[in-house]
């Protein structure tokens, strides 16, 4: 009879091809390694019931609720696989615990990324434009496009179409799993074109040749500039508020600019357009506003 840890590692290996990236796969097994293996890892897989699952979940259920919730999902997956392979019988104890309401209800508050007020963006962008560091260029592009950090830092030149004035971020790098077209504005092109002279694989090259900037590069730049209480991801929210309060942009145009899926499954099935030209107009207005204090 295999142990819980042995089955968990096997499930991890089998599911590796299905994860969006290696980081997600590593997080999956790390959660079990930190909170489940020390307590039930060496136990035979058929001997794990509700008391054993509670040993793992109870200590972190209220203090680290999101982690505990994910841990429960991953323990359940391991036990489900074990049952399908003939190592277990009966109901999954994770399901039984949930249905019985054994653990207390925890109201988790959403953690929003802190954002800069849109009124402060032009002055901030003007200061950024006076810096030559690659992190500053990447942060300027992030601010202009409203894109996520990973989308920008791993942008490659073969994704840029200057003739059609488009940046197409591939599906594997998008949170929603679908390719996203970003219209390139005059300001974006003025920022990008000088960087081509570096002849790097990546648009925003880091300290190592043909390697992207570090994930922390832009955040550390914010701290060096003395900008507190603001995250890089928060510039997406800054753009969204400006689009609503100043540009009066239609909701679907503003949301699609951020690569958000909107509407029900039926609406999405019929909404085949990504509203590119309307988004292009909105992004031109945003670029014009953002750079208004430069020079």
pLDDT in tens, 156-203: 999 999 999 999 999 888 988 889 999 999 999 999 999 999 999 999
172, 213 Cβ separation under 8 angstroms: no
Q: What was the pLDDT predicted at 274?
A: 82
Residues near 151 by beta carbon (within 8 Å), at least 6 away in sequence: 169, 173, 174, 180
Q: Which of 235, 144, 148 is nearest to 185 (CA)?
A: 144
Residue 232 — φ and ψ, nearest 5°? -65, -45
Q: What was the pLDDT predicted at 108?
A: 61
Q: What was the pLDDT predicted at 169?
A: 95
Instruction: Report the residue count for the chain.
Output: 295
Rg of the chain over all Cα atoms, to the nearest angstrom: 23
Start-to-end CA span in the chain (Å): 72
Q: Which of 237, 235, 206 is nearest to 128 (CA)?
A: 235
Q: What domains are defined for the chain? A: 4-100 (1.10.150.130), 118-293 (1.10.443.10)
> Could you tell me the pTM of the whole model?
0.67
Give tens-digit pLDDT for 173-183.
Answer: 898 888 999 99
The CA distances from residue 122 to 129, 144, 220, 248, 262, in Å, are 10, 11, 20, 19, 29
Q: What was the pLDDT predicted at 6?
A: 96
Cβ burial of 224 (10 Å; 0-12, 13-18, 19+) is exposed
Q: How far apart are CA 11 and CA 116, in angstroms?
A: 42
One pLDDT digit (tens) per residue for the chain, 295 residues: 999 999 999 999 998 888 766 777 888 999 999 999 999 999 999 999 999 999 999 999 998 998 999 999 999 999 999 999 999 999 999 999 999 989 998 876 655 668 999 999 999 999 999 999 999 999 999 999 999 999 999 999 999 999 999 999 998 889 888 899 999 999 999 999 999 999 999 999 998 888 999 989 999 999 999 988 899 999 999 999 999 999 999 999 999 999 987 765 645 554 557 889 999 999 999 999 999 998 7
Q: Among the residues of 63-120, which ranges form H helices? A: 65-84, 93-100
Q: What was the pLDDT predicted at 270?
A: 47
Q: Where are the beta strands (DSSP E) in the chain?
A: 160-161, 166-169, 180-183
Q: Which of 230, 239, 237 is nearest to 287 (CA)?
A: 239
Q: How far apart are CA 205 and CA 92, in angstroms?
A: 48
Q: What was the pLDDT predicted at 112?
A: 60
């Amino acid at each position: 009879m295999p142990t819980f840890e042995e089955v968990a590692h096997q499930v991890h290996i089998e599911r590796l091809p299905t994860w969006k990236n290696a980081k997600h796969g590593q997080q999956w097994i790390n959660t079990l390694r930190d909170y489940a293996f020390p307590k039930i890892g060496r136990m035979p897989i058929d001997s794990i019931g509700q008391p054993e699952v509670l040993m793992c979940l109870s200590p972190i259920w209220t203090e680290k609720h999101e982690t505990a919730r994910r841990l429960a999902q991953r323990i359940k997956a391991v036990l489900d696989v074990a049952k399908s392979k003939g190592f277990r019988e009966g109901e999954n104890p994770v399901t039984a615990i949930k249905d019985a309401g054994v653990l207390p209800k925890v109201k988790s508050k959403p953690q929003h990324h802190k954002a800069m007020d849109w009124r402060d963006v032009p002055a901030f962008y003007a200061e950024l434009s006076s810096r030559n560091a690659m992190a500053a260029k990447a942060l300027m592009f992030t601010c202009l496009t409203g894109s996520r950090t990973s989308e920008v830092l791993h942008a490659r030149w073969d994704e840029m179409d200057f003739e059609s004035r488009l940046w197409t971020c591939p599906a594997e790098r998008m949170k929603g799993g679908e390719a996203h077209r970003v219209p390139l504005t005059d300001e974006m092109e003025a920022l990008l074109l000088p960087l081509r002279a570096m002849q790097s694989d990546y648009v925003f090259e880091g300290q190592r040749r043909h390697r992207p900037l570090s994930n922390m590069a832009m955040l550390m730049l914010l701290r060096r500039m003395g900008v507190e209480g603001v995250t890089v991801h928060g510039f997406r929210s800054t753009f969204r508020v400006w689009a609503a309060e100043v540009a009066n942009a239609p909701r679907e145009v503003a949301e699609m600019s951020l690569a958000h899926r909107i509407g029900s499954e039926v609406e999405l099935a019929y909404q085949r357009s990504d509203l590119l030209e309307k988004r292009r107009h909105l992004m031109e207005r945003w670029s014009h506003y953002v750079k208004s204090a430069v020079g």
